Structure formats: C-alpha cells, structure tokens
Amino acid sequence: MSILDNRPALKAQIDQVAEVAGYLWIKGWAERNGGNITVNITEWADEGMKALPAISEVKPIGKTLPRLKGCWFYCKGTGKRMRDLARQPMANGSIIRILEDCAHYEIVADQPVAPTSELPSHLAVHDYLLAKGSPYRASLHTHPIELVALTHSRKWMKKDAATKMLWSMIPETKAFCPRGLGMVPYMLPSSVELADATIRTLDQDYDVVMWEKHGVFAVDVDIMSAFDQVDVLNKSAQIYIAAKNMGFEPDGMTDAQLKEMSFAFGLPK
Ligand code: 13P
Ligand code: ZN
C-alpha cells in the first residue's frame, strides 16, 4: 500500500521527481546522497490524506514558517541517493505535513524516512514563495560540477558576473533561465543562515542561486522545470570550459545580442 495508490495526480508529481533524480545521477551531479528535492503537494492533499495518522514523532523544522500551516510536502530523505530515489521514490523520500504551529512537522507516508538535512532551506523557500503569491511549487538542490567549479573563483562570485558569461554562451540559456544566477557566499550546509541567505538572494529576482563551493538551489512551477533551469546554466558553463580547453577565451554573444533577446522574447531582464 502506498499513499500514491488511487491518487494519479499526486503520483504524477512523484513520478516526475523520480525521473529528475535519475537525470541528476546520470549528469554526475548526485554523488552519494548529494542534492535534495522538495515539492509542495498541498493542492493534491485530499480529505483521505488529511485523515491519515502520523508515522513519526513530531519534529522541529528549525524555523517558524507562517504560510506553511497545514501544507504537505514530498521530501527526499536525508542520506538517500538520487539514483535509488529514481527507482523507489517512496522508499528514499517521504510525505510530511506541517503542523498548526508552523514550526513542526510529522511524516505521514509511506515510510518513516527522515527528510533531507536541507529542509530548513527548502521549507523557508516554499514559505517565501507562498508569501509572494508565486506559482512555484518545487525546489531542487544539486551539485552540478562545472557551475560549482566556477564558484571557486572570486571573479565569478561577483554579482551577475557568472550570469552574464553564462547567458552569452548560447541563446537558450537566457531564454530558459531568464533571471540568471544569484550568488550566496559559503555557509554551513543545512544551516538556518544558509536558508535565510538563499531567500534574500532569490528575492533579488533570481530563480536559481549558487551556494559557493557547494551547489545550486533552484525553484520553479514543478521539479522538471527547476531541473531545466540548472541544466541550461550548466550547459553554458561546459561551453565556456570547452572553448578554454581549445586554447582561447570565448567571445560570448554581445550585449546588443543579449538585449535583442529580452525584447524579442519578452524576458524579465
Ligand atoms: P541530504 O542527504 O540530507 O539531502 O543532503 C545532501 C546534500 O546535498 C546536502 O547539501
Ligand atoms: Zn548539497
């Protein structure tokens, strides 16, 4: 028995998470238990789900998040591998609900798999998105090799330096990651400080932010779209490296060409 039985719309969301988890492994972005995914599934929580008992004790989130009262999330399990989640999403992640106090949660299904250690960042971001009236319901943290490598240089950590370079490698990157890449200086993984800095940076009008020397954190309407934004950014980083490996600094598209795209496609920046 699974909570997904007879809930095809909810199952479709979890199937998409599993599909993306497989891509993360194939890309080489998900060593061991690297990366995590959460999806706000509240709109699929029916009365039958609401009547289910908890299968864990009540646990603190580490933050009080007023917009998450009664919300439901699918969360990757801490220490779980994306390559395992790709085959068995409900054995390597779980469905949780947030309690009335907005500061605690309990696991409801299918197994008592403890959620990701980055839960404070994920849930704080979902709270922020709801407060903003955003339609985004999914958040992805992953370790894309080339993008992480960029953050080992102070040059690329400067505000919008990496965005400009990445956008200029190939038109698709600006078209499909139109807000660019925000930069968060190194902070302890799973810390509340990292969660707060992630929100401050997303709030500067980005959908994807870089955690220096660690990974990216991306938000979008669903997990496939969040993955796509990271995928186009990392593709650009690979093109940059390919040019450097051929022995030259790539020219990049011109400022005029980048501006022309914003005008032609109605991009926000
Ligand atoms: P979890 O296994 O707790 O999700 O952690 C993976 C990770 O990438 C931490 O930043
Ligand atoms: Zn990580």
The answer to whether 74 touches 92, Cβ cutoff 8 Å, is no
Nearest to 106 by CA among 173, 61, 63, 68: 61
Flag whether 201 is in a domain.
yes
Q: Which ligand is nearest to the CA of 216?
A: 2
Q: What is the pLDDT of residue 132?
A: 98
Measured CA to CA, the distance from residue 226 to residue 129 in angstroms comes to 14
Active site residue 118: yes
In a domain, 3, yes or no: no
Distance (Å) from CA 168 to ligand 1 centroid: 31
Counting ligand 1 atoms within 8 A of each CB, the residue from 74, 141, 212 with the most, and so the one to mutate, is: 141
* pLDDT tier, 179 (very low <50, low <70, confident <90, very high otherwise): very high
Instruction: Catalytic residue, from 43, 100, 106, 118: name it.
Output: 118
Name the residue type at position 192.
V
Q: What is the mean pLDDT of the chain?
A: 98
Domain boundaries, position 247: 8-265
128-132: average pLDDT: 98
Q: What is the pLDDT of residue 2?
A: 98
Average pLDDT (188-202) is 97
What is the Å distance from ligand 2's center to 121 Cα?
11
In a domain, 2, yes or no: no
Q: Is residue 236, in this structure, part of any structural domain at all?
A: yes
Question: Measured at the alpha carbon of residue 33, what is the angle toward residues 205 and 224, in degrees to the nearest 5?
Answer: 45
Q: How far is the CA of 265 from the centre of ligand 1 (A)?
A: 36
Ligand 1 atom nearest to CA at 33: 2
Q: What is the 265 CA–ligand 2 centroid distance (Å)? A: 33
pLDDT > 90 in the chain, percent: 100
Residue 197, SS3 per DSSP: helix
Task: Identify which of 32, 59, 78 to mutate to test ligand 1's pocket (most ligand atoms within 8 A of the CB).
Answer: 78
Number of other CB atoms surrounding residue 182 within 10 Å:
24
What is the CATH classification number for the domain harbouring 73? 3.40.225.10
pLDDT band at 241 (very low <50, low <70, confident <90, very high): very high
182 pLDDT tier (thresholds 50, 70, 90): very high
Question: Looking at ligand 1, which atom is closest to the CA of residue 143?
Answer: 8
**pTM for the whole thing?**
0.98
144: exposed, middle or buried (C-beta count within 10 Å: 0-12, 13-18, 19+)?
buried
Pocket of ligand 1 (CB under 6 A): 33-36, 76, 78-79, 116-118, 141, 189
- Let me know if residue 255 belongs to a domain: yes
Domain assignment present for residue 58? The answer is: yes
**Closest ligand 1 atom number to CA of residue 142:** 8
If pLDDT is split at 50, 70 and 90, which confidence band does 97 have? Answer: very high
260 domain residue, yes or no: yes
Number of domains in the chain: 1
Substitution candidate for ligand 1 out of 31, 76, 84 with most atoms within 8 A of CB: 76
pLDDT in tens, 38-90: 999 999 999 999 999 999 999 999 999 999 999 999 999 999 999 999 999 99
Residue nearest to atom 10 of ligand 1 (CA): 189
Q: Which atom of ligand 1 is nearest to the CA of 117?
A: 3
Give domain status of residue 53, yes or no: yes
Q: How far is the CA of 77 from the centre of ligand 2 (A)?
A: 13
